[in-house]
Amino acid sequence: MRSPSTLLPASPKLGFWKNEKGFSLLEVVVALAILAGGFLVVLNLFSGSVRSVDFSGQYLKGVTLANSKINELEMLNFEPDELSGNFKNEESYRWEVDITSYDSPLNDSKLGIQLQKILLKVLWDDQGQNRNVELATLHLKRQAYPVSDTSLEQLFTGGSSPASSGEEEGSSEENSGSTSTNVSGGTTTTSTNTTGCPSGTTFVFGAGCQ
């Protein structure tokens, strides 16, 4: 007779490998997708920062060129032969200037005071997009003749006009018997002889001219 067979216990190594769990293909794909998404976000941030630096550099160059052109026009008394053109060393940048009269209460045609508004624009092309910066300043066009400090003070403080001031000075001069002459902003007073004595003599009270 055959003896009944006995069941042998399973090997410990086989049981260990049987209970071990691994990653499925779906989990691997999801993990790779998350990593790829994070990498794209970081790449976009990096490219955006690089673009911002380049953009700032373009505007900085535009402002520098505009300041240089303003100084050049100032040396020409803001009377250029051309109102637009390209920069010599920066062919991709061009400039335009607009010179107009500026309305201001300081303007005075009698004193030759006229303010001008200078608007300078620098333009360039940035990958198909038009970029520009603008600088504006005020300029005193010309002054026909020197004016006294009193006239300038009245002009800026809103005092009486030079004509009325001159009339008041004239009346005071007639009453005091003296004349004032304005030379380069200074005042020279000359007294007139009201005693009737000849030139070179002095009037002494009670004794006459001596």
- Amino acid code (one letter) for 161: S
92: in domain: yes
In this structure, what token pair is assigned to residue 181?
Answer: 């002459």
52 with 156, same domain? no
- Among 35-44, 112-121, 196-205, which stretch is predicted with the lowest mean pLDDT? 196-205
**What pTM was computed for the model?**
0.47
Better pLDDT: 160 or 112: 112
Confirm if 60 and 51 have CB atoms less than 8 A apart: no
Q: Is 64 helix (H, G, I), strand (E, B) or coil?
A: helix
Domain boundary among 91, 126, 144: 144
pLDDT given at position 123: 93
The range of the structural domain enclosing residue 168 comes to 146-178
Judge whether residue 156 has pLDDT over 80.
Answer: no
Both 137 and 87 in one domain: the answer is yes
Residue pLDDT, tens place only, 41-70: 887 777 777 777 888 888 899 999 999 999
Cα distance between residue 144 and residue 112, in whole Å? 5
Residue 114 confidence (pLDDT):
84
Sign of the C-alpha dihedral computed for residues 206, 207, 208 and 210 taken in this order: negative
Residue 116 or 203, more confident: 116
Domain co-membership, 77 together with 37:
yes
79 and 159 part of one domain: no
* Domain contains 123: yes
57 belongs to a structural domain: yes
Which pLDDT score is estimated for 121?
94
Judge whether residue 122 has pLDDT over 90.
yes
Domains identified in the chain, total number:
2
Residue 103 burial by Cβ neighbours in a 10 Å radius (0-12, 13-18, 19+): exposed
Asked if 150 and 86 sit in the same domain, the reply is no
- Do 72 and 152 sit in the same domain of this protein? no
Q: What angle do CA 124, 65, 133 make, to 5 degrees?
A: 50
- Please check the confidence at residue 26 and state whether its pLDDT lies above 50: yes
Two structure tokens written together for 36: 């790829």
Please report the pLDDT score of residue 45 as a whole number. Answer: 75
Q: Are residues 63 and 152 in the same domain?
A: no
* Predicted local distance difference test score (pLDDT) of residue 185: 45
Residues 72 and 60 in one domain: yes
Is position 185 within any domain?
Answer: no
Q: How large is the average pLDDT for residues 79-104? A: 88
Specify the pLDDT at position 120: 94
